[in-house]
Amino acid sequence: MNNNNTLSNFFQISLHQKIIVIAIPMILSNVTTPLMGLVDTAVLGHMKDVYFLAGASVAALIITQLYWLCGFLRMTSTGLSAQAKGSKDNNQLNQSLFQGILIGFLLGCLLLLMQDGILALGLYFADATPVIEGVIKEYFSTRIWGAPAAIVNLALVGWLIGQQKAKPVLLIQVFANLLNLVLNLWFVFGLGLEVFGVALASVVADYSISIISMIVAFNIIGKPIIQKKWFSGVYLRPLLSLNGNTFFRNLILQGCIAFLIFKGVGFGSTSAAINAILMQFFTLIALGLDGVAYAAEALVGEQKGQKSVNGIIHVTLHGLLWSTFVAVIYSLVFIVWGTEIISLITNQATLQLEMKDYLIFVYCLPVIAHWCFFLDGVFVGLTRAKAMRNSMLLCGLTVYFPVIWILTDYANQGLWIAMLLFLLSRGISLGGYFIYLCRTGRVAV
């Protein structure tokens, strides 16, 4: 009996350690990722005219949205890689890597082919002055050539997370940011390349990440094994279906967020500014909670590869504990220092005063959102993208938009009540389906 307890305690401790070892580097990696954009902004902000920063910021936003929509490739690569690790199937391990690289490269090339149309659409919505429009064109037309590498990087990073190589992912990201900084300073202030130099530095950083990530991946798999049949329709069809469902899941989420932002603009400039601040809190929360979710993706996927129902349940329960802990810490920090954080974001007294009515949303957001954040990670590890898509669609149609309509009189606050209920309902729906899968013994299938 004592021996069983000792083994049980050891398993629990080691599992907690595994979660921490993956989560902390991924949280740090998430924090460093925006630094590439911050470096670009700082360099552009020191140029002779403000229109350089204005135009490049719009172009960078277009690029960022394109890459975000392709984020499904990172998620599917993580799940498949983790399952291959768990099953110790070297063939599946190679297949998941090279299929992800192929799809990422093709998607990047597709963006290159569509760049004129994408740029025209972006310029239409930007409605910029001719001077700013010129900067947008120059930055976008240069930066877009990094698309093949940037999209491949999503697959590579996802694959490495699935192999529980969070530390190399962090080191690669730090190196890329330092390289981007050095190249920015050299290209802009040394060679006088201005906006072109800023965009070119990011392109070089993207390709550097690809090369280094491939080296790390090849060291893991040893001698690469590539089979022609992996790239046939029969073998790619399940992967494309998985990616397609994940893509639509991301698209629905992006649509809900975009609706909130645009609807808020309709309530006036103050509401729009408040929503921008709240979105900063949302992003800050995601940096921490995503780290725990990444750990769930890798460890749940590994257990599914081993066909271990108990292992999946153990990982989920342990991970949920850490996700709850991080969420509570966030809420406590916001309760104690929320007003000070708002003061750092804006120095406008009127806006600071208006934000006091929204602090309750800031306090509640982490503890409500962490359920769906974490369970998304669990379902990524299980490669059940269809369930994630259906949950997002169901909660959007039956909770989010109906609540917005019902709470029309509450204006902008009604939007955020709807968002909180949307996130909560997603957590409930995914949690309920996970329990169903466990009880029916289908969770490891």
Instruction: Return the domain boundaries, the chain.
Output: 31-231, 242-445
Q: At what angle do helices 233-266 and 385-395 cross, to 10 degrees?
A: 20
The answer to whether residues 377 and 296 touch, using CB atoms and an 8 Å cutoff, is yes
pLDDT of residue 65: 83
CA dihedral for 281, 283, 287, 293, sign (positive or negative): positive
Q: How many residues does the chain have?
A: 445
Q: How far apart are CA 334 and CA 369, in angstroms?
A: 15
Q: What is the dihedral of CA 185, 280, 370, 411, to 10 degrees?
A: -160
**Alpha carbon distance 430, 406 (integer Å):** 25
**pLDDT for the residue numbered 13:** 58
What residues of the chain score a pLDDT lower than 50? Answer: 1-3, 6-7, 10
Specify the pTM. Answer: 0.90
Question: Quick one: pLDDT at residue 283?
Answer: 85
Q: What is the pLDDT of residue 1?
A: 42
Query: How many angstroms separate the CA atoms of 101 and 70, rounded?
Result: 13
pLDDT value of residue 12: 54
CA distance 148 to 324: 37
* Per-residue model confidence as pLDDT tens digits over 28-74: 888 776 666 667 767 777 676 777 777 787 888 788 888 888 989 99
Q: In the block, which residue shows the tokens 């990087």?
A: 153
- CA dist 370 and 321 (Å) reads 11
Number of neighbouring beta carbons within 10 Å of residue 318:
19
Quote the pLDDT of residue 37. Answer: 63
Residue range 309-318, pLDDT digits in tens: 999 999 999 9
Q: Which residues contact 297 (CB under 8 A, 6 or more apart)?
A: 75, 78, 79, 82, 161, 162, 377, 378, 380, 381
Residue 2: the pLDDT is: 45
Q: From the centroid of its chain, how far is CA 299?
A: 18
- Reference 399, options 382, 423, 435; nearest CA is 423
